[in-house]
Structure 1
Amino acid sequence: MSSNAYYLIFSVILIAAVLFTVIIGNSRTNKDGNPEYDNKTKGNWSRLTFFYVVAIALGVLALILYVVNRTST
């Protein structure tokens, strides 16, 4: 599979993830189901930041492994 196909797949997944995150975050069901969520912002931001740091670190690691394996062949 060419690199362009991987870029396309990655881009579609990334855009879908952002769209679904925004849709779910702004949904009435989400706001009605947990009204305390907006009052506990410090814990929410801490967990969210942790998840993003882990995801970015794994993404960078995957990119490094991809580049190293691609250049070694």
Structure 2
Amino acid sequence: MPLYTYYLIFFLIMLFGAVATLMIGHSKKNKEGNPNYDKQTKSIFRGLSLYYIIAIGLGFLALVVYIIAIS
């Protein structure tokens, strides 16, 4: 696959993430707040940490696949 295809895929994922983040930030539900948020911080951080571990792992896997593909 040509290199520009990888750039396009990366750009589309980044654009999707930025748009989704802005939509969530400006949503009515987000502006109203959640009074139980502070009570649930342990489970929130556990879920967020798991998300980051999976994302970093997939990123490294993609890097390895890319390095093997260009070799």
- What is the TM-score of this pair, normalised by structure 1? 0.69
CA distance in 2, matches of 1:53, 1:22: 23
Structure 1 gaps, min length 5: none
Structure 2 gaps, min length 5: none
- What is the TM-score of this pair, normalised by structure 2? 0.70
Change (3 A) 1:14 1:55: same
Paired position in structure 1 for 2:54:
54
CA distance in 1, matches of 2:63, 2:35: 38
Alignment of 1:30-69 (within 5 A): 30=30, 32=32, 35-36=34-35, 38-39=37-38, 40-69=40-69
Kindly state the Cα deviation for residue 8 of structure 1 after the two structures are TM-superposed.
2.1
| Per-residue Cα deviation, 1:31-57 (whole angstroms, up to 9, x for no partner) | 55x724522223212211211111111
Alignment of 1:14-29 (within 5 A): 14-29=14-29
Structure with the largest fraction of helix: 1
Identity of aligned residues (%): 36
**Residues matched between the structures, number:** 70
Change (3 A) 1:6 1:16: same
* Backbone CA RMSD of aligned residues: 2.3
Runs of 4+ in 1 over 6 A off after TM superposition: none
